[in-house]
Amino acid sequence: MIRVYFVGTGGGAPSPYRSLPSYLIRREGFYALFDCGEGTQRNLMEYRLGIMSIKLIGITHMHGDHVLGLPGLIQTMGLLDRKEPLYIMGPKAIKDFIERTSELTGFRAPFEIRFIDSYEDENIRIYKFPTCHTIESYGYIFEEKERKGLDVEKLRRDGINDWQILRELKAGKEVRFNGKTLKPEDYIIVKPAIRVAYTGDTSYCEKVIDSVKGVNLLLHDSTFLDEKDAREWGHSNAIDAATVAKQAEVKRLALIHISSRYRDTSQFVRLASRIFDKVFVPEDLSYYILDREP
């Protein structure tokens, strides 16, 4: 199961209603934070999400509303005596930004910071994709890999409950049972991967469509209602985001990076739902749960 926490859903400047961009994805004990605008660590505390549990931070681009909370978060981790390495992904400038900030503020993190281009372990894969903004910018895919499990219902129907037989089948081995040969492919089911995509800042972009095809949840830039404003600043509006969601055949769309000029977001949903109906505008300090299909 994956939880997506909408830590900050605004963009450009904070407002009394929305904080600057930050999204935390939790999969069991693995915490990944994407973007870190000012106020991020305060909102994480509101969520009662352990700052020290964050293993990886992905930065989409170097505009201040997405990155200026990062030095403070790293410093807090150090003050709380973090020892575990912290993985950081982002554009080329992210390493220099952190090192220069550390030098200028006189604070050295007492833990290792590892700058990486992608992350993968037994259960999770995280990687970047290019977006269309005014500077070097990336989106991120967080993927919980597909799993193989036993078809419990079929095993029960066939009267198979010996744990040694179950273990052999799960290991992909044929087993003799009551004079018959049990084949693992008859009892193993594949539970599909769960994928979440976050675009960061982007205008309507074919590269984004190609990268987010079929994801379970798409967090897409929807800064403005007006198309002209969106184009001028390298952003998207609700119609752009909905068009991407439809063309990429995603399962669900969250409109994020809402400009501080808007308090009422109902028109965002109305416009987007004309094109793609499984759409919502998340509020700060809300979350969305994704579980595997049965």
Tokens coding 112: 């290792």
Residue with tokens 């993985």: 87
Which tokens hold the place of 250?
Answer: 């995603």
From CA 243, how far away is CA 1, in angstroms rounded?
A: 28
Give the DSSP H or E segment for 80. none
**Which positions ≥6 away from 230 have C-beta within 8 Å?**
203, 223, 224, 236, 237, 240
Copy the structure tokens of residue 24: 């935390």
Alpha helix (H) residue ranges in 134-265: 152-157, 163-170, 206-211, 227-232, 238-248
Q: What tokens were used for 91?
A: 């554009």
158 catalytically annotated: no
* Three-state secondary structure call for residue 186: helix
Contact (Cβ atoms closer than 8 angstroms) between residue 229 and residue 258: no
User: 3-class SS at 220?
Assistant: strand
Measured CA to CA, the distance from residue 54 to residue 43 in angstroms comes to 14
Give the DSSP H/E element, type plus range, for residue 70. Answer: helix 70-79
Which residue out of 35, 65, 221, 284 is catalytically annotated? 65
* 3-state SS, residue 218: strand
Q: What angle do CA 126, 131, 136 make, to 5 degrees?
A: 95
Q: Using CA atoms, how far apart are residues 20 and 249, in angstroms rounded to an integer?
A: 28
The single-letter code of the amino acid at 151 is D
Q: Which residues are known to be catalytic?
A: 65
